Amino acid sequence: MAFRSLQVLKAKGGRGLTTKTLDLVKATLPAVAEAGPAFTGHFYKRMFKAHPELLNTFNVANQRQGRQQKALFNAVAACAVNVLEHGCLPTEMLEGVHHKHCALDVQPAQYDVVAEHIIGTIVEMLDPGQEVLDAWGELYGAVADRCVTREEEIYKQTESLPGGWRGLRKFKVVEKTPKSEVITKFTFAPADGQKICEFIPGQYTSVWLQPDSWDNRQVRHYSLVSDVGTDSYSIAVKKEHNGLMSSYLHDRLAVGDEVDLSAPFGNFNIGGCEKLWTSDPNAPVVMLSAGVGITPMLGMLGNLKNGVTPQSRPVVWMHAAKNGHEHAFRDYLVGLARAHPDEITRRVWYESPSPDDVKGMSNRSPFHYEGLMDLTKVKSLLPLDESHAQYFFCGPQEWMKMVGGQLLQLGVHKENLHFEAFGPSQDIFA
């Protein structure tokens, strides 16, 4: 394997990673891969034992179910492979990680803690010798240095916005409104009464809570569904079965209560398409969502049609829900389609329609198809012959894998697909 552009990725201190370092990483990567999520599982147990305070930052449900361990292993493997094959980090994948880290208020010193326990895990599980340890330590140091630099840029950019801040800020619940049988909308206003920063539609805020009955503080990320430019932030939360945070928000959090919020972060938004749309104002947009995955799409669609600079570009919206009782924001979306009949095309799938759900085939119909989303039924509505068409989708992990696979089979190029994973970042195409 030829190592190209080795100077693109720098070790700490500004040195380029050497061919020897990369050779050693390449030689031992199969052993790390064979260990799989067991490697990252050992790492987390080791780190939390030494630093239990970090449990106040990590999602305990993701830890119990192994999702965080799998996500970290995939990220480590992706970084190593990309460096070996291309001499640089997978910047597109890492950008989402950087935003999550900023939302979690990750600090540079925490990268040193992670380094200690990743190297310790390699020693305890693989015992490869000091030379290999030095190579992995050098690689991790380069990755960490890049992460710290990029995340500081994002922190400063957000902090410098009018009404922006770094870290956590107190907000008060000013409205709590059910939007379906399982989804409730919460609106928060700053407790200090000062200005809040604007966000890019598709971004999220992070809610931090620690009721007296919880052992650790917990944080969850929720897409912003409020209009840009208002004096409050709104989120929509699905009550998950046995969900620690979602159950508390639905059952216990009341108007007047205070919570801590992070500033808006996230790179799943329409901002990256602005240059394309400037050169091709008619480039169509396709939005696909399932369940509570509807939330990041709401702000994006509302901004396109009712924002400061409304656009006439065509939008196709495909949504999947269990039934009408769990279909949040349906009336709002039907109204938006009614207000823009020549610009918005919507189609909805109900997996198990209720007896009172009304099926039809017009843009105003509550729903259109039964069962799981099948894009072959709407091929004529999709801009498959438009090379500049952009596809945004969000929903449960397995649904995104299914929909992403369907889009690829229909001939959509991977670079035109944009998706958001709730929870630990994962590559749905892996």
Residue 49: CB partners within 8 Å, gap ≥ 6? none
Report d(CA 289, CA 176) in Å as an integer: 23
Q: Is 151 a catalytic residue?
A: yes
CA atoms within 13 A of residue 238's CA, in its CB half-sphere:
19
Question: Torsion over CA of 104, 108, 113 and 116, rounded to 10 degrees?
Answer: 140
Rg (CA), the chain: 23
Element (H, E) at 416: none
138, 151, 326, 420: which one is catalytic?
151
Please give the C-alpha separations between residue 310 and each of 300, 303, 336, in angstroms, as whole numbers. 11, 7, 13
If we measure between CA atoms, which residue out of 254, 220, 261, 256 comes closest to residue 238? 220
- Among residues 44, 53, 92, 111, the one annotated as catalytic is 111
Work out whether strand 233-238 and strand 183-190 pair parallel, antiparallel, or are unpaired. antiparallel
Using alpha carbons, select from 211, 98, 208, 117 the residue that is nearest to residue 158: 98
Candidates 220, 223, 227; CA nearest to 202 is 223
Check residue 250 and give left, alpha or beta (phi > 0: left; psi -120 to 50: alpha).
alpha
Closest by CA position to 405, among listed 426, 369, 425, 429: 429
> Active-site residue 274, yes or no?
no
Stated as kind and residue range, the H or E segment containing 19 is helix 19-35
CA atoms within 13 A on the CB side of 112: 4
β-sheet bridge partners, residue 183 = 238
Instruction: Give the whole-angstrom CA distance, residue 254 versus residue 230.
Output: 21
- Report whether 59 contacts 220 (CB < 8 A): yes
Contacts of 16 (CB under 8 A, 6+ apart): 6, 7, 9, 10
- Identify which of 354, 409, 238, 403 has the alpha carbon closest to the alpha carbon of residue 419: 403
Burial of 249 (0-12, 13-18, 19+ CB in 10 A): buried
Q: Where do we find the tokens 């989303």?
A: 373
Residues noted as catalytic: 111, 151
